[in-house]
Structure 1
Amino acid sequence: MAEQNLQISGKVSNEKIDNTALVEAINAMRKEFSADAQNKVINNALRSTFLIPAIIEKNQELVADENNHVQFKDKQEAKFMLVNKAVRDENGNQTGTISFFPVFTDAEELKKMETEQSYRPFAMKFSDIAFLTESTPNVEGFVVNPFTREHNLPFTKPMLESIKQTLINFKKSKDAAMVAAAEAEAQEAAEGEKPDITVSSSDEQ
C-alpha cells in the first residue's frame, strides 16, 4: 500500500452510500459479458458515490488577516492511498509495478484493505475520482473493490477518456436535437402568426 504524493484539500463525508445496483451489475457482467451488461455497469458507476481512503495530515500555513497580521493556522490535507499491481513479462517475471487508486462501494469492502496506516474514508462521486485520476501522472487509473475477486473492476485512464468522449458526444447530440426542436417550434409559431389575408384581382370585384 502506497501513498500518492498529490495533496488535495477536502471534507470527509459520512453520507450513507448504497451501491447495490452497481455491485449487481458487475456480478451480472462477470457471469455473462455483453455490450448491454457493460453499459449497465458504466451507467451505474457514473451515478455512484464511492469511499476512497486517505491519510489526513495537519500542516500549518501562514495566514494574513485584514490588518496584514500574519499567524500560523492548521490546515488539513488528504493524501489518497494507492494499491500497486505487479507487471510481469511472458515468462512470469516481474518487470515493474503500476499504481491505482483503490475505491470501495461500501464500508464492508473498505474493511478488506489491510494496512497499518491510519486513514479516513472520503465519499467521492465517480466524476471527482476520474478527475483526480486524470490529474495524477503516476497513477494508471482506479479500481473498484480491489480486494474482492467477484466484483472488482478497474477503470484505466484510456477507459475514462473513452467514457468522457462518449458523454461529450452524447451531450452535443442532445443539445443539437434541442436546438433543432426549438427552431422547428419557432418556425411553426411564425407561420401561425401570418395574417389571414386573401388577395383578389380587380376583375373579380
Structure 2
Amino acid sequence: MEINRSDISQTFIDLFIGTLKFTDDEFELLLSHMKLELIPRKGFYLKAGNISKQKAYINKGCTRTFTVDEKEREHIMSFSFEDWWIADFESYYTQQPARQYIQAMEDCELLCISKCDLDKLEEQIPTLRFFFQEKKQKMIFATLNNLREVKSLTPEERYLNLIKKHPQIFQRIPQQYIAAYLDIEPQSLSRLRSRLSKK
C-alpha cells in the first residue's frame, strides 16, 4: 500500500525533516520506496525460517519479538512500540533464515522498506546511512544491556527497569507476556506488583 504524508505519524516526519534535515525531495524519495503494511493483533510480521528482507517502522501499535526452543517454549526477547524499527536484524544483514518471530500485540501500522531499496537510498542520501549505522550501534548496546540484566538482575529489578522505560506497558501488553519476558510465572508477577504497590 502506497504511503502519503497523511498516513504517517508526526514523529516520523519530525525525525527525517527536523532531526535529520532531509529536504522535501529526499523525504518524498524515501516515502516512495516505503509501503504501508497493516498487521492485525496476534498476526505475524515475521516468522522464524523466513528471511527478513525489509525493515519496518512502527507507525502505530506494538509488537513482541520471541524465539521458540526445541521444547516449543517461547522466550520473549523484546517488546517494540511506536517510533521503533523492527526486523530480525541478524537475518536482515546476513539474508539467512530468521530465528525469531515478530508478532503484533495490537493492530499495527508498519512503514516498510526493503533491504534492496534501502541500500540504494543510503548511497543517494548519506545521512540515511549514518542514521542506520547509529541505529545498529544502539541495537548492539541494547542487546548487551539486556543480556546483562538477564544475567545479573533479579526479576523485581528487571520489572522496575521495564516499567521505568515503558510506564504504560501493562495497558498495552497482556500480563502473561510481560511475565514471560521477565521469565517468571504470571501469578508471581501479580504478587510482585501487589507487593510493590504497597511500598
Report the structure, 1 or 2, having the larger strand content. Answer: 1
Could you tell me the TM-score, scaled by structure 1's length?
A: 0.28
Structure number with greater Rg is 1
Report the structure, 1 or 2, having the larger helix content. Answer: 2
Could you tell me the TM-score, scaled by structure 2's length?
A: 0.28
